[in-house]
Amino acid sequence: MLPRFLAHSIDAAAGTAMLSEEETRHLSQVLRLAAGDEIAVFDGSGREFRARVERIARDGAELRLIELVPASPEPAVRLTLAQAVIKGDKMDDVVRDATMMGIAAVEPLVTEHTVAHMKAGRAPDRWRRIAVASAKQCRRAVVPAIGVGTTFADWLRQDQAEVKLMLVEPSASVEGYPLSTIGGTRPATASLLVGPEGGWSADEINAAAAAGCVAITLGRRTLRADAVPIVAIGVLQFLWGDL
């Protein structure tokens, strides 16, 4: 199986591509590849090619495209995960696993009960690098968009998804519908709001309902904060026929 690299500079008409300096270091210094070796290269938007390394320089590697190869299919529903930032490296795990599951975008949120330290607009670039690495590993040709981080209120104002869902814990001030009831017609786009370790405030739940969000629950079990979004994504994809 060919090693995979992300290249934003792909000219399919000319049959060429260029790796970034960072990707080139991984190619030459970590994997010890050289001119003449074959690799797989994808553009992060769904295209993937078999390619040959033509030249390696300090600022990048030049590639010759050999053929377009079938990329792994994307889910039919473009699902955005609006995830309240959680502590430590658990947010890293969420980004990694959500990418693996085929999420279209991840928007880090600052909420009333957010414990992790992140200001709106200051989401670490590390999360995008994690998404790229996860896409490489799971052989996905699309890298999800990783937002810069926003407040809960700003997210509600900008969310334009056809279906808007909010995960609530069993002890929340509102009773959520079982996730299994979210079926019927498959939407083109959807968003999933997932709270922090301390859950949502009553004001946030009310504001989400006013913005058209449907409160849903995963049932009576208490799950780790980093496990909740991945379980929910899996169930939704099953219900929508995306697994």
Tens-digit pLDDT profile for residues 168-194: 876 665 666 677 777 677 899 999 999
Tens-digit pLDDT profile for residues 61-81: 999 999 999 988 999 999 999
Look at 77-81, 199-203, 215-219 and tell me which has the smallest mean pLDDT: 215-219
Non-local CB neighbours of 79 within 8 Å, separated by 6+ positions: 102, 103, 104, 189, 190, 191, 192, 233, 236, 237
pTM: 0.89
Per-residue model confidence (pLDDT) at position 115: 72
Looking at residue 4, what DSSP letter applies?
Answer: E
CA-only gyration radius of the chain, Å = 20
Dump the DSSP string for 9-68.
EEETTTTEEEE-HHHHHIIIIIS---TT-EEEEE-BBS-EEEEEEEEEETTEEEEEEEEE
Tens-digit pLDDT profile for residues 79-118: 999 999 998 789 999 999 999 999 999 999 999 888 777 6
pLDDT value at 28 more than 70: yes
